[in-house]
Structure 1
Amino acid sequence: MADTNRGVVYEGPGRVEVEDLEFPKLELDEQNHRKLEHGAILKTIATNICGSDQHMVRGRTTAPAGLSLGHEITGEVVETGRDVEFIKKGDLVSVPFNIACGRCRNCKERNTGVCENVNPARAGAAYGYVDMGGWHGGQAQYVTVPYADWNLLKLPGDRDRTMAKIKDLAMLSDIFPTGYHGAYTAGVTTGSTVYVAGAGPVGLACATACFLLGAAVVIVGDMNAERLAQARSFGCETVDLSQHDDLGEQIAQILGTPEVDAAVDCVGFEARGHGREAGGERPATVLNSLMDVTRAAGGLGIPGLYVTGDPGGVDENAKIGQLGIRFGLGWAKSLTFATGQCPVMRYNRQLMMAILNDRVEIAKNVNATVIPLEEAPAGYQEFDKGAARKYVIDPNNLVGAGV
């Protein structure tokens, strides 16, 4: 087995570099030497750039320079700890971005996004992310995964079948379950009309999930023409938020009514104003607009990221995640709200089966684009400019860059 490693490192606002890293160990860190005999070391097959990573790289979180990045990981097991029983060397696996112990109350209740034992600061942890427990990122050639029997989803079947669908399967670590979670918790079901705010990769994954759940009409809103075109490519209706102020009026032109049954926020805290207000950052604008256009007794799914610390916030309230939300409107309409990290393990096996049995083409819908590890900084730059792509990093040249 190799003893060298390279990966993507955050070096400060606007700067990421590919650097030599220490080869993973079955230990948490050098400070406390917590043994991870329940863990595994993976050779990374695919690892994606996420919009949440982009928030850090823009300097919109308290992430420290030197943080290794990446929480969307698919890999091959190359080593297991003494206590791992069921995951074996050579297994191809998907890694939920949530790190979970499988032992605490929240894990046992399937709330793995807020595991109580993997982050000393607060509930919930993730690989390579600020305030998420100090775990090393997976945009690297090799990475350590704790609690391997619990966390890892083994990809079934022979290797050739798995690799033939690897771009689709690479979406199981985060954006496909996250998009599905947003749709499911908003109450999307057979015959639903749905508005999805944001046509980035998570928004497109959410729209895909809405169709999988049986939605009759899925409307996607954004201000990026290329991303809206990508949404239309698999059957979505779209609204260009840079052109109009009245979202309800645009929805009425599609549905004949200004309201939808369910709505999903796939934008988060860096939301910008619509129409005449376009260009300025308005962190509550998406949440308020969703409350406007969702019917009474409807549901809002909110998988879009909101943070408790934003150095670049537009005002003092925004810097601590305190937003001007019209909660009274939501209360008056008896709306339901679902927030927080997606508990990936609640959905990933079912979505894997949909992929393997040709029920969904998630990689095509999000325009998955494979790049080699050394091109990761360029991928970050292009994604930040609004590229209608989901960048999949191929650290060990196992997927085939450009396919």
Structure 2
Amino acid sequence: MKMRKKAFMLGNKAVAYKGSGVVEVIDIEYPTFELKEGPGVNPANVGRKVPHGVILKTVTTNICGSDQHMVRGRTAAPTGLILGHEITGEVVETGPDVEFINVGDIVSVPFNIACGRCRNCKDGKTGICQNVNPDRPGSAYGYVDMGGWVGGQAQYVLVPYADWNVLKFPDRDQALNKILDLTMLSDIFPTGFHGALTAGTAVGSTVYVAGAGPVGLATAVSAQLLGAAVVIVGDLNDDRLAQARSFGCETINVGEGSVPDQLEQLLGVPEVDAAVDAVGFEARSHGHGAGAGESPATVLNSLMDVTGAGGAIGIPGLYVTGDPGAVDDAAKAGTLSLSFGTGWAKSLSFTTGQCPVMKYNRQLMMAILHDKVNIADAVNATAISLDDAPRGYAEFDAGAATKYVLSPNDYLEL
């Protein structure tokens, strides 16, 4: 118990949502093997015992675009919610039911919390576990309506069902040497890979990725890893498009002309084999520059236009059922004006929802450890301190072409 007493002495600092546009670093309790009442914790989960869990000393935890949706006030997230679902850490305590994970292990934590026991988990659908969120299938750390599991943008965090959930890195020194790459395994690299794969990307494919944020860039890297002949990334942000070009992508600024016309200039035809929506529900309309108004269905409709008949669209971009800041009442409930007839007429396939991270994270870990991919460079990973999190959120929200990686316990040189 010496480690736990030391942790109590050090305290536990974390990043909390304090209202629209505001995050603060606050002091919170050191985690225990029981869920306690707090902001966002589902009442049915209060008092839930977690003997199968581990407590991590956080090595890295990343700021995600999904966090930004909450911080912008675009969800029902309660004030005081502890943020963060992209977690890599060192095990400092294990619950009595943990068999195969040990103190000192460096592990990656999938953002989806999964029990490993339910029908969906056994089918590999870990993004929609039936036992961790009393309201609906699927859960995540530090996220609104996801059961209330405390977020990982903190010095210490509880991870349940550890034998099932965590991915142990085979060598501590190797892991810490490649930590800026390996930290992406908790979410955006598997999520981008899932988007590219479900879009049907294969050797020789032409692929269009809508969105040059970190998930879009991770999707583009993944499409290259899958053997795409050409990957084209579209966005309104020139800095993010330059980042996509830095690792061999073609790019189009969707504010400077129609997507089909720009694709035709690059490919000779106005369509692609595979397309991915890495934008989500805060999409802005095309053709009117950076000041374009919000139009949540615009990306999906555009992708149906430019995906070849019989193709597929991967949709890792987030869509929600409750958006208080939406442009109209329909969008506030997640109801969008889709040209579904276009998709039907072209026999397109769609894959939506949380990425089942565990389906991909080990394979992608091996690709990183054996130098087959440099995901940190592709997304411009930049390490900052936990205390610097408010700045990271503000700069990311302003469009910085950067993936901010928080270092709560000084494992990284800043």
TM-score > 0.5 by shorter chain: yes
Match of 2:352 among 318, 322, 339: 339
CA distance in 2, matches of 1:259, 1:191: 14
The yes-or-no answer on 1:8 pairing with 2:15 is yes
CA distance in 1, matches of 2:109, 2:175: 15
| Partner residue, 1:131 | 145
Once the two structures are TM-superposed, the CA of residue 127 in structure 1 deviates from its matched residue by 0.1
Counterpart residue identity of residue 394, structure 1: S
Once the two structures are TM-superposed, the CA of residue 229 in structure 1 deviates from its matched residue by 0.2
Q: CA RMSD in A?
A: 0.8
| Partner residue, 1:46 | 60
CA distance in 1, matches of 2:292, 2:386: 33
Once the two structures are TM-superposed, the CA of residue 231 in structure 1 deviates from its matched residue by 0.1
Match of 1:25 among 15, 25, 32: 32
Counterpart residue identity of residue 228, structure 1: L
CA distance in 1, matches of 2:163, 2:342: 45
Counterpart residue identity of residue 257, structure 1: V
Match of 1:327 among 326, 330, 340: 340
Listed as ranges, the matches of 1:230-249 within 5 Å are: 230-244=243-257, 246-249=258-261
| Partner residue, 1:75 | 89
CA distance in 1, matches of 2:30, 2:168: 23
CA distance in 2, matches of 1:310, 1:298: 30
Match of 2:267 among 255, 261, 268: 255
User: In structure 2, the residue corresponding to 1:126 is in which secondary structure?
Assistant: coil
What whole-Å deviation, never above 9, does each CA across 1:320-343 have from its counterpart, x for those lacking one? 000000000000000000000000
Once the two structures are TM-superposed, the CA of residue 243 in structure 1 deviates from its matched residue by 1.3
User: In structure 1, the residue corresponding to 2:329 is in which secondary structure?
Assistant: coil
| Partner residue, 2:185 | 172
CA distance in 1, matches of 2:136, 2:241: 37
Once the two structures are TM-superposed, the CA of residue 279 in structure 1 deviates from its matched residue by 1.5
Counterpart residue identity of residue 173, structure 1: S
What whole-Å deviation, never above 9, does each CA across 1:330-358 have from its counterpart, x for those lacking one? 00000000000000000000000000000
CA distance in 2, matches of 1:201, 1:46: 16
Listed as ranges, the matches of 1:220-299 within 5 Å are: 220-244=233-257, 246-276=258-288, 279-299=292-312
What whole-Å deviation, never above 9, does each CA across 1:224-247 have from its counterpart, x for those lacking one? 000000000000000001211x11
CA distance in 2, matches of 1:89, 1:222: 44
Once the two structures are TM-superposed, the CA of residue 154 in structure 1 deviates from its matched residue by 0.2
The yes-or-no answer on 1:145 pairing with 2:159 is yes
Question: How many residues in Structure 1 have an aligned counterpart in Structure 2?
Answer: 399
CA distance in 2, matches of 1:154, 1:240: 40
Counterpart residue identity of residue 5, structure 1: N
Once the two structures are TM-superposed, the CA of residue 28 in structure 1 deviates from its matched residue by 1.7
Query: How does the TM-score come out when normalised to structure 1?
Result: 0.98
User: In structure 2, the residue corresponding to 1:68 is in which secondary structure?
Assistant: coil
Once the two structures are TM-superposed, the CA of residue 185 in structure 1 deviates from its matched residue by 0.5
CA distance in 2, matches of 1:152, 1:332: 42
User: In structure 1, the residue corresponding to 2:311 is in which secondary structure?
Assistant: strand
Match of 1:315 among 325, 328, 335: 328
Match of 1:182 among 189, 195, 218: 195
CA distance in 2, matches of 1:69, 1:276: 34
CA distance in 2, matches of 1:260, 1:248: 9
Counterpart residue identity of residue 81, structure 2: L
CA distance in 1, matches of 2:173, 2:350: 42
Once the two structures are TM-superposed, the CA of residue 175 in structure 1 deviates from its matched residue by 0.1
Counterpart residue identity of residue 236, structure 2: M
CA distance in 1, matches of 2:173, 2:135: 42
Counterpart residue identity of residue 8, structure 1: V
User: In structure 2, the residue corresponding to 1:275 is in which secondary structure?
Assistant: coil
Structure 1 residue ranges without an equivalent (≥5): none
Structure 2 residue ranges without an equivalent (≥5): 38-42
Counterpart residue identity of residue 36, structure 2: D
Consecutive aligned runs of 4 or more in structure 1 exceeding 4 Å deviation: none
Counterpart residue identity of residue 374, structure 1: D
What whole-Å deviation, never above 9, does each CA across 1:43-102 have from its counterpart, x for those lacking one? 000000000000000000000001000000000000000000000000000000000000
Once the two structures are TM-superposed, the CA of residue 162 in structure 1 deviates from its matched residue by 1.0
CA distance in 1, matches of 2:138, 2:35: 16
CA distance in 2, matches of 1:42, 1:400: 20
User: In structure 2, the residue corresponding to 1:376 is in which secondary structure?
Assistant: helix
| Partner residue, 2:40 | none
CA distance in 2, matches of 1:178, 1:325: 23
CA distance in 1, matches of 2:62, 2:36: 24
| Partner residue, 1:116 | 130
| Partner residue, 2:73 | 59
What whole-Å deviation, never above 9, does each CA across 1:6-56 have from its counterpart, x for those lacking one? 000000000000000110111122473221000000000000000000000
User: In structure 1, the residue corresponding to 2:256 is in which secondary structure?
Assistant: coil
Counterpart residue identity of residue 148, structure 1: A
Deviates more, 1:166-175 or 1:33-42: 33-42
Once the two structures are TM-superposed, the CA of residue 276 in structure 1 deviates from its matched residue by 2.9
CA distance in 2, matches of 1:248, 1:29: 52
